[in-house]
Amino acid sequence: MNAHDKMAAFHAERMEGLGGSDIGAILGLSKYRTPVDVWAEKTGRVPPQESNLQMRFGTFAEEFVAQEYSAATGLKVQRFNPMLRHPTAPLIGHVDRLVVPEGQKVASHKSEIRTDCLLECKTANAFAAFNAEEWGEAGTDNVPTAYLVQVATYRILTGCRYADLAVLFGNHDLRIYHLWRDVELEQMIIAKATEWWQHHIVSDVAPDPVCDADVKLLYPKSVAAKTIEANEELLHKLAVLREAKAQAANYEAVADAAALGIKAALGDAEALVWQGETLATWKSSKPGSKTDWKAVANALAAPKEVIDQFTTETAGSRRFLMKD
């Protein structure tokens, strides 16, 4: 099986249930995906999320992090490739590694798991290490909540009592967090996953949108001449929006006036300083150039069919306007 077929098979498996990162998304804990994103992907309305540089680096670095974990703990780790499926709930997942128990040679045999500990490997930028609200000291369970539920999902699927989360911050700080089994959390995940899958996937009901991107995904085009009658709730929201925009415009006017005064004071100077510290700059940008390709085509008397050959139609978008 080539790389393309492997990726296609992986995405097909992901359509069969909710993975660890999906659980964080449907609970509203993910920074990168919303419940609408998960619903649209699982129902085939959008293609599976394509890998990007950050995702590919995470996969590439997984082996290095696992090796460093072994070096730091003296414990061996083992890959476990089979897709895990819960017997009753719509939960699926792949684990990064299983930790081989001391005194044993392997952590699994074929599809049988023979360990109480799994390993999840992560990478994070160096600045994340200083975010004490999300990342605690090594050896604790103080990690972002999205990772807590992701690892808890893998504990459910493997039956492991605890998990280690190895995180490489930047390229110099490896921290190992210990996440013990939380029965109450695991029961909540199973119940939520089952209810969410039944209501949103089986019944095909979209989750409520939580951001502008969700609304655009759910309703990409308007229906010509279609209207809805405003109710009290919508009238209130419209009034709130008008007031907020009016206040924002006032603040913007104040900011523009202040900026104008500073620019006038700067004149042809490019920086405003105070006791050796730069407070603001107003620098000239480098000149650029722009080619008017339509004018070039006309000057060369290019036939219309040639111009049409290199003309692509762009997707339309919806614009929200309030009437005065």
216 found inside a domain: no
234 found inside a domain: no
pLDDT value, residue 51: 72
Tell me if 284 sits within 8 A of 266, measured CB to CB: no
187 found inside a domain: yes
Helices in 99-231 by DSSP H: which ranges? 145-158, 183-196, 212-218
Positions of the chain with pLDDT under 70: 1-14
57: domain range?
3-210
pLDDT value, residue 324: 73
Domain count of the fold of the chain: 1
* Residues in the chain, overall count: 324
- What crossing angle do the helices spanning 183-196 and 145-158 adopt, rounded to 10°? 90
In whole angstroms, give the CA distance from residue 90 to residue 38. Answer: 13
Per the structure block, which two tokens stand in for 150? 């992701």
215 found inside a domain: no
How are beta strands 92-93 and 84-85 bridged, if at all?
A: antiparallel
In whole angstroms, give the CA distance from residue 153 to residue 17. Answer: 12
223 found inside a domain: no
Query: DSSP readout, 279-296?
Result: EEE-PPPPP-----HHHH
Helices in 51-124 by DSSP H: which ranges? 53-73
In whole angstroms, give the CA distance from residue 315 to residue 276. Answer: 50
16 found inside a domain: yes
pLDDT value, residue 52: 76
pLDDT value, residue 114: 94
pLDDT value, residue 1: 54
- Distances, alpha carbon 40 to alpha carbons 49, 182, 195, 241, in Å: 11, 30, 17, 29
pLDDT value, residue 139: 94
In whole angstroms, give the CA distance from residue 123 to residue 65. Answer: 8
281 contact partners, CB below 8 Å, separation of at least 6: 270, 271, 272
Long-range contacts of 270-278 (CB under 8 A, 24+ apart): none
Per the structure block, which two tokens stand in for 147? 């990772």
117 found inside a domain: yes
In whole angstroms, give the CA distance from residue 200 to residue 35. Answer: 10
> What are the φ/ψ torsions at residue 273 (nearest 5 degrees)?
-125, 160
Query: DSSP readout, 5-50?
Result: HHHHHHHHHHTTSB-HHHHHHHTT--SS--HHHHHHHHTTSSPPPP
pLDDT value, residue 78: 96
- Bridge partner residues of 162 (DSSP): 117, 180
37 found inside a domain: yes
CATH number for the domain spanning 18: value is: 3.90.320.10
